[in-house]
Amino acid sequence: MVALYCSCEQQHPIWGEFRWVGGKHVGGKYEWVYFDDKEWSETYTQRLIYCPACGQRFERMNLDAVKC
């Protein structure tokens, strides 16, 4: 799991996980899945494809990691 945020002006916080999305059969794969991390958001803890703030489709290359 990794803490991320959208690269848009609002920098909406999300978390990402690298999950197995295939079945037990050959041809399964891993891919990034993203979830809302703002407690007050309507989509809190829901799986996301698009940024709730700007509507941009999430792609791992377009997200920034939270710096600790």
Whole-angstrom Cα distance, residue 45 to residue 35? Answer: 6
**How many other C-beta atoms lie within 10 A of the C-beta of residue 60?**
12
pTM for the model: 0.73
Q: Tell me the one-letter amino acid at 8.
A: C
Residue entry with tokens 């710096």:
67
CB 17 within 8 A of CB 31: no
Segment-wise mean pLDDT, segments of 10 residues, the chain, 68 residues: 88 87 72 85 85 89 79
